[in-house]
């Protein structure tokens, strides 16, 4: 399949430069003496890490980058050779395989080993097993565990917040002080919270522009770029605020001009279908996957994946007045830490608020934290919202589980169903008139 050169907006260039700078900083930690924390995206403590002048590394980001660079397949095979099952999360196997092959990051520079393993467990049991393996790969490296209570009853209680703050004060922060050689600075952390809240405000405004017709953004495929800085190493920094300010200006200008989303092959000329999507995207064939949608004029106006690192549109913001408490609430409020009724309610609201024509699930073979309950979610959305639902299957970073022809056929059938429904609805509307 012929692939055109991807179109890049100014904000994408800014983000690329931010990431390049981070990975270069990581590659020279031996010279600079900076300490490195391996941690995860959902429920991460980025501001706390940065307040100690340490650098974060996110194994699942490394895995998805490997997938996009067509390297994940060989890494996964390396992990399977040493005993990892086919059913294990492919992020884990890709990450382990990458480490076994020199731990080279997405910029081609070697990633440093961790000085601290920070497990902020947020709704994904696999994270715990993943870090057990990292502990074996890096013997002697201290491990800090921040256990996040699951939102079993659908709300966050004061007791849960207190439980998490206690863990931070008694385990996480002391270990960060030990590793970094610096004392915890509450005032510095509070100031970073102000930047976090500014960036979160801007991100919500950006994602909510998809309520406009036509939507100036794709909130799934382009959305994964939008969430990058805030869900990873830059939340709490002035750089993040600058990036989201630029992105917001770009998106507002597109909305003002009545333009559709920018795809890798240029501007989408006609918005035919508006969709809400549940589940992560496939990374090994990301552009081919996206192309099936934009070739059909299908725009994703809201998605659950762009909430995996924080459901900010429900009102949460990091709070400078209660920095540790707001870190606790942030961890508990991530999408993967929400119970199934909460997820259904959120997705149903998206279908309604964003005036979606349909609801689609991309079920990931090896991702239990997303896949569990998806068939129930699909049935609930279909019955409650009375919109056509679709179901496709792929994987995060294992190319063996992405069947382009199968997914394309399923999606084309689904789009035909949406098209037929629109025709019927238009005919019924004419009869009423």
pLDDT in tens, 100-116: 999 998 888 999 999 99
CATH code assigned to 27-180: 3.40.50.11890
Output the pLDDT for position 268: 94
Output the pLDDT for position 161: 97
| Per-state percent for the chain, helix, strand, coil, to nearest 5 | 55, 10, 35
Output the pLDDT for position 251: 97
Residue 151 has pLDDT above 90, yes or no: no
Cα separation, 92 vs 82, in Å, equals: 13
For the chain, domain boundaries: 27-180
Cis bond upstream, residue 214 (ω within 30): yes
Output the pLDDT for position 304: 95
Closest CA to 376 of 332, 323, 421, 340: 340
Specify the pairing of strand 358-364 against strand 298-303. Answer: unpaired
Q: What percent of the chain has pLDDT over 70?
A: 98
Output the pLDDT for position 13: 87
DSSP string spanning 71-118? Answer: -HHHHHHHHHHTT--TTS-HHHHHHHHHHHTT-B-TTSPBPPPPSEEE
Output phi, psi for 308, to 5 deg.
Answer: -65, -25
Cα separation, 99 vs 68, in Å, equals: 17
Output the pLDDT for position 9: 73
Residue 127 has pLDDT above 70, yes or no: yes
Task: Give the angle subtended at the CA of 341 by the CAs of 370 and 217, to the nearest 5°.
Answer: 60
Confidence of residue 428 (pLDDT cuts 50, 70, 90): confident
Residue 242 has pLDDT above 70, yes or no: yes
Residue 5 has pLDDT above 80, yes or no: no
Among 204-208, 226-230, 254-258, 372-376, which is the least confidently predicted range?
Answer: 372-376
DSSP string spanning 236-256? Answer: TSHHHHHHHHHHHHHHHHHHH
Question: CA of 284: how far to CAs of 153, 157, 191, 399, in Å?
Answer: 36, 40, 38, 6
**Average pLDDT, whole number, for the chain?**
92
C-beta pairs of 221-224 under 8 Å, 24+ apart in sequence: 221/263, 221/281, 221/286, 221/289, 221/290, 221/293, 221/300, 222/261, 222/262, 223/300, 223/303, 223/305, 223/306, 224/281, 224/305, 224/306
Confidence of residue 367 (pLDDT cuts 50, 70, 90): confident
pLDDT in tens, 175-197: 999 999 999 999 999 999 999 99
Output the pLDDT for position 350: 98
CB 25 within 8 A of CB 34: yes
Residue 6 has pLDDT above 60, yes or no: no
Task: Give the angle subtended at the CA of 304 by the CAs of 299 and 307, to the nearest 5°.
Answer: 115
Output the pLDDT for position 130: 86
Residue 369 has pLDDT above 90, yes or no: no
Q: Average of pLDDT values for 270-297? A: 96
Output the pLDDT for position 3: 52
């Amino acid at each position: 399949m012929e692939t055109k050169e991807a179109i890049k907006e100014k904000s994408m260039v800014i983000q690329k430069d931010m990431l390049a700078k981070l990975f270069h900083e990581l590659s020279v930690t031996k010279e600079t003496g900076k300490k490195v924390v391996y941690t995860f995206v959902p429920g991460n403590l980025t501001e706390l890490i940065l307040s100690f002048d340490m650098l974060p590394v996110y194994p699942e980001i490394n895995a998805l980058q490997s997938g996009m660079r067509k390297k994940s397949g060989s890494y996964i095979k390396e992990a399977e050779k040493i005993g990892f099952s086919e059913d294990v999360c492919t992020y884990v196997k890709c990450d382990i395989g990458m480490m076994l092959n020199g731990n080279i990051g997405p910029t081609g520079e070697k990633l440093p080993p961790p000085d601290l393993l920070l497990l902020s467990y947020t709704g994904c049991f696999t994270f715990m097993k993943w870090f057990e393996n990292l502990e074996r790969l890096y013997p002697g490296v201290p491990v800090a565990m921040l256990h996040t209570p699951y939102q079993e009853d659908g709300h966050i209680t004061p007791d849960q917040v207190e439980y998490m703050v206690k863990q931070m004060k008694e385990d996480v922060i002391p270990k960060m002080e030990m590793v970094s050689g610096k004392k915890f600075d509450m005032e510095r952390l509070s100031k970073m919270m102000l930047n976090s809240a500014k960036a979160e405000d801007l991100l919500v405004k950006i994602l909510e522009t998809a309520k406009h017709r036509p939507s100036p953004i794709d909130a799934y495929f382009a959305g994964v770029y939008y969430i990058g800085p805030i869900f990873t190493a830059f939340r709490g920094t002035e750089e993040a605020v600058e990036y989201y300010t630029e992105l917001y200006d770009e998106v507002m200008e597109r909305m003002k001009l009545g333009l559709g989303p920018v795809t890798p092959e240029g501007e989408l000329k006609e918005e035919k279908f508006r969709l809400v999507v549940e589940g992560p995207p496939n990374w090994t064939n990301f552009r081919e996957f996206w192309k099936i949608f934009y070739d059909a004029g299908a725009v994703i106006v809201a998605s659950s994946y762009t909430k995996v690192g924080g459901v900010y549109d429900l009102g949460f913001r990091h709070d400078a007045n209660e920095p540790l408490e707001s870190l606790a609430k942030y961890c508990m409020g991530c999408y993967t830490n929400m119970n199934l009724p909460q997820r259904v309610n959120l997705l149903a609201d998206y279908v309604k608020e964003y005036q979606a024509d349909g609801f689609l699930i991309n079920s990931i073979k090896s991702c239990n934290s997303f896949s569990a309950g998806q068939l129930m979610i699909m049935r609930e959305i279909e019955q409650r919202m009375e919109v056509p639902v679709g179901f496709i299957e792929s994987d995060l970073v294992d190319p063996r589980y992405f069947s382009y022809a199968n997914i394309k056929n399923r999606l084309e059938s689904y789009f035909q169903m949406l098209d037929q429904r629109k025709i019927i609805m238009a005919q019924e509307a004419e009869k009423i008139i």
